[in-house]
Amino acid sequence: MTHLPDLGPVADMRPHDALREAAKRPLRVKLGIDPTASGIHLGFAVVLRALRAFQDAGHTAVLIVGDATARVGDPSGKDKTRPMLTDAEVRANAATYLDQIGQILDMESAEIRFNSTWFDAMPFQEVIALCGQVTVAQVLARDSTRQRLDAGAPVGLHELVYPVMQAFDSVQVRADVELGGSDQLFNLMMGRDLQPRFGQAPQIAVMMPLLVGLDGARKMSKSHGNTIGITEAPEEQFGKAMSIPDDAVPQWLELAAGLSPDEARTALAEGPLAAKRALAWRVVARCHGSDAADGARAHFDRVVVSGEIPADILEHRLTGASVWVVALVAELAGVSRSQARRLMQQGAVRLGDERLLDPEARRCFRDGEVLQTGRRRWHRLRVSDRNRTLG
């Protein structure tokens, strides 16, 4: 027995309201993921949870792992050509994706398909025939492509083929519904257009809203560095969620915390700080459970609100007397040296009460000193007698 799933906020649907009638029968609901980076963040979790809602409503989840399309790169919303990935990079990323997606989807009932299965087996003549189903005018109608061409920026021929590849995935799995973010409208509609050419009914395109990132300005994306990963430590997730701008809280309450509009309004009525704390707790609870969320909230209050240094901070052993600080910060924070420079210039790096602001500085540290590289990262430095220079 199937029924209409509760998807929460939906950005768009084509045709509008088509699901109401269609959901009375079992549907094949497709979601494609290109493993272009390692790890799933909360923004992508929005559409994954929509796919899980279809599963819970009795429909079949068809997860396309785009190991072939990932090598090309989706040009949606991009202002320049994406770098092409190697097979090894794609395989490594796909392994982490499937691992983490299992936290949201019922992987036992899901149908997992790798699109290299059909694309790697296609003779070149079949590729040409597939491309012949689509006109140049169609693929040039994408706004981001037109903007790049108008600006004189290069557009690779492979980028024009990408939406055709994604559409052909729908043909291969006979999708009744395809899910995506609101930036995927062009690609999903290409699937609707292509399926009838292969004797299939056109899929229903369902677009979910894009979760704004930690900066409150752009969509959550690893390329923007504004993400919360679903497997990040509870304390890290809670602290990051507390850092979002106040005007992003209403959207996060519905998309990241999964609250209904009424529940979100109730949370917001308590004031921005209380709403943000409720949001942060809910984000952690969805990823790690309520006990972890309680612990993360207590940790935040103790460390950030009260300013205490955690008792269980990591130790980092230095074997040199003179250390290039920016190299040390990059190593401890797990960021590039250019990002470490920005952390220092923003005053986010402290040694005790002293802010370390000069990225070019070298420093001699004493055994036992505590270095803070951001609001939630502390390391106790252990200095040996051996002399080695870091950096």
DSSP class of residue 357 equals -
pLDDT values of the chain reduced to their tens digit, one per residue, 391 residues: 899 999 999 999 999 989 999 999 999 999 999 888 778 999 999 999 999 999 999 999 999 999 999 888 777 655 555 667 778 888 888 888 888 999 999 999 999 999 999 999 999 999 999 999 998 888 888 877 878 888 888 888 888 899 999 999 999 999 999 999 999 999 999 999 999 999 999 999 999 999 999 999 999 998 888 999 999 999 999 999 999 999 999 999 999 999 999 999 999 999 999 999 999 999 999 999 999 999 999 988 887 776 666 666 778 888 666 788 888 888 888 788 888 888 888 777 877 667 788 888 888 887 777 788 876 677 778 877 544 444 4
* pLDDT the model gives residue 390: 46
User: What letter represents residue 317's amino acid?
Assistant: R
Are the C-beta atoms of 216 and 240 separated by less than 8 Å? no
- The residue whose two tokens read 């990932």 is 70
Region label for 312, one of left (φ > 0), alpha (ψ between -120 and 50) or beta (otherwise): alpha
Domains of the chain and CATH, by start:
12-208 (3.40.50.620), 232-305 (no CATH), 314-383 (3.10.290.10)
Phi, psi of 52 (to 5 degrees): -65, -35
First-to-last CA distance in the chain?
63
Are the C-beta atoms of 118 and 64 separated by less than 8 Å? no
The total number of residues shown for the chain amounts to 391
Residues near 208 by beta carbon (within 8 Å), at least 6 away in sequence: 7, 9, 10, 11, 46, 47, 50, 179, 180, 181, 182
Give the DSSP letter string of 114-153: ETHHHHTT--HHHHHHHHTTS-HHHHTTSHHHHHHHHTT-
Rounded to the nearest 10 degrees, how much is the dihedral formed by the CA atoms of 383, 385, 389, 391?
-20
Distances (CA, A) of 131 to 124, 157, 190: 11, 12, 12
In this structure, the strands spanning 12-14 and 28-33 are: unpaired
Distances (CA, A) of 249 to 76, 228, 234, 273, 297: 26, 15, 19, 10, 17
For the question of whether the overall pTM of this predicted structure is more than 0.75, the answer is yes
Question: Which of 62, 68, 67 shows the shortest CA–CA distance to 30?
Answer: 62
Rounded to the nearest 10 degrees, how much is the dihedral formed by the CA atoms of 141, 143, 149, 152?
170
